[in-house]
Amino acid sequence: MANGLGNFVKTLQLDTRLLGMIGAFIAISIVFHIATGGTFLTPRNLFTLTLQTASVAVMATGMVFVIVTRNIDLSIGSLLGVVGMMMGVIQVQLLPEILGFGHPSIWIITLVVGTLLGAAIGALQGWLIGYLLIPSFIVTLGGLLIWRGAAWWVSKGTTISPLDPNFVMLGGASGTIGVTASWILAIVGSALTVWFLISTRRKHLSHGFAVKPLWAEYALGTILVGAICGITAIINAYMIPTRILQRRFAAEGLEMPEGYTEAYGFPISVLIVLAVAIAMTVIAKKTRFGRYIFAMGGNPDAAELSGVNTKLLTVKVFALIGALTAIAAVIASARLGSAGSSLGELDELRVIAAAVIGGTALAGGVGTIYGAILGALIMQALVSGMGMVGVDSPLQNMIVGGVLILAVWVDIVYRRKTGDS
């Protein structure tokens, strides 16, 4: 039976590392579902889990590129903190004085300025690493201290609130797209998945490459479409509490119909993660910039001899993760509805762990975007589950640290057996 399953997986040409991560997430979820008396695998908790994972997942996609180029970024948690605080000051203290309170463009200006600030700080660190040849560990370790201090200095240790209502919707806690839009998104996603499988098969056939049997294509398509529709059904099963609906109707001067119900649908923050994942995957696989990143990680000297400007590439990679950290700051602060000086603390460790658990090799040259996002989901599921069963915070940190070490060891063993560098 094991051989039959192995042959089935081989015929479908599925990534065994991806299957392993999905299996790990399922195993963790089942264990905590039993331990919590059936409350872990509920629509409400899974909805919350996606909200908690979003900001780390966005940064983890950028960390893949950083680690692939044989660098590291220890500053992103502090960078998230200072950018989040700056965006809080901009939308709470500066723009209302200029544009007026509640102006519809406040959130847009805040988002643009915050993203540019994050990219600029990232580019500065990349310049120090690429052109002054200071090790990334030292530059970003210094950045960890500098930007955390700057985050406190911006607000003098106070919490900035309340944030702009339109901005807060980006966090997902109060910003969702509803059931209908969620199903439309699922249908579009399923159609694009089928189109991608068909176009990939045609492309391989036109170039004379080996392809999977037709039944395997149908099976893979069915699995992927089923997963998309299943996830959508679970998210759409989380209903908005009646008291919240009553307050909404009362605010509009209406009486809520008897028996009226409504579901949340996908959070906006999850859609941001999806958009970032697609964009980063395209960059990694379809652009010269992405090819240069993996070439540099595989062999920096050979890449430079081939004409790749590795110094400028380093600046671009760190500018990119700076911009992604700013987007993560939007999600994190919007979800909380405020920006505090502790925003993003220890996120650098969570992000690095997510990338490594997702299969990004610390030696450089190897990594996937989907792996990093799955790694972030596994990390958050582990932390959330331990919190639900009452595991103390120090013990949680110990377990997460052990999981990280185990993940690196498994990665080393996997690469030895498969012959990957």
Q: What is the pLDDT of residue 155?
A: 79
Whether 368 maps to a domain, the answer reads: yes
Mean pLDDT of 173-195: 91
Could you tell me the two tokens for 401? 């640290």
Instruction: Output 364 or 117, whichever has higher pLDDT.
Output: 117
Where is mean pLDDT largest: 91-100, 135-144, 194-203, 372-381? 135-144
Q: What is the pLDDT of residue 107?
A: 94
Whether 206 maps to a domain, the answer reads: no
Establish whether the linkage from the previous residue to 394 is cis, with ω within 30° of 0: no
Could you tell me the two tokens for 320? 């990119």
Could you tell me the two tokens for 310? 């590795």
Whether 354 maps to a domain, the answer reads: yes
Residue 125: pLDDT band by 50, 70, 90 thresholds? very high
Q: Name the amino acid, one letter, at 331.
A: I
Handedness of CA 193, 194, 198, 201 (dihedral sign): positive
Q: What is the pLDDT of residue 219?
A: 85
Residue 407: pLDDT band by 50, 70, 90 thresholds? confident
Q: What is the pLDDT of residue 216?
A: 80
Residue 6 has pLDDT above 90, yes or no: no
Whether 401 maps to a domain, the answer reads: yes
Q: What is the pLDDT of residue 3?
A: 58
pTM for this entry? 0.91
Q: What is the pLDDT of residue 133?
A: 94
Backbone angles phi, psi at 344, to 5 degrees: 85, 5
Average pLDDT, the chain: 89
The boundaries of the domain holding residue 413 are: 40-174+267-421
Asked whether the beta carbons of 162 and 101 are under 8 A apart, the reply is: no
* Window from 184-188, 205-209, 370-374 with minimum mean pLDDT: 205-209
Residue 13: pLDDT band by 50, 70, 90 thresholds? low
Q: What is the pLDDT of residue 183?
A: 96
Q: What is the pLDDT of residue 1?
A: 52
Percent of the chain with pLDDT over 90: 55
Residue pLDDT, tens place only, 256-295 = 888 888 889 999 999 999 999 999 999 999 999 999 999 9
Selection from 172, 166, 155, 176 nearest residue 106 by Cα: 166
Residue pLDDT, tens place only, 33-44 = 999 989 998 999
Whether 201 maps to a domain, the answer reads: no
Residue 91 has pLDDT above 90, yes or no: yes
Whether 209 maps to a domain, the answer reads: no
Whether 281 maps to a domain, the answer reads: yes
The CB density around residue 374, as the number of other CB atoms within 10 Å, is: 25
Between the alpha carbon of residue 289 and those of residues 120, 239, 293, 326, 344, the distances in Å are 19, 43, 6, 21, 29
CA-angle at 222, arms to 221 and 224, nearest 5° = 65
Q: What is the pLDDT of residue 284?
A: 94
Residue 9 has pLDDT above 70, yes or no: no
Between the alpha carbon of residue 260 and those of residues 177, 257, 263, the distances in Å are 18, 6, 11
Q: Name the amino acid, one letter, at 149.
A: G
Mean pLDDT of 184-209: 90
CATH number assigned to the domain comprising residue 307: 1.10.3470
Whether 32 maps to a domain, the answer reads: no
> What is the signed CA dihedral for 156, 349, 174, 181, rounded to 10 degrees?
150
State how many domains the chain has.
1
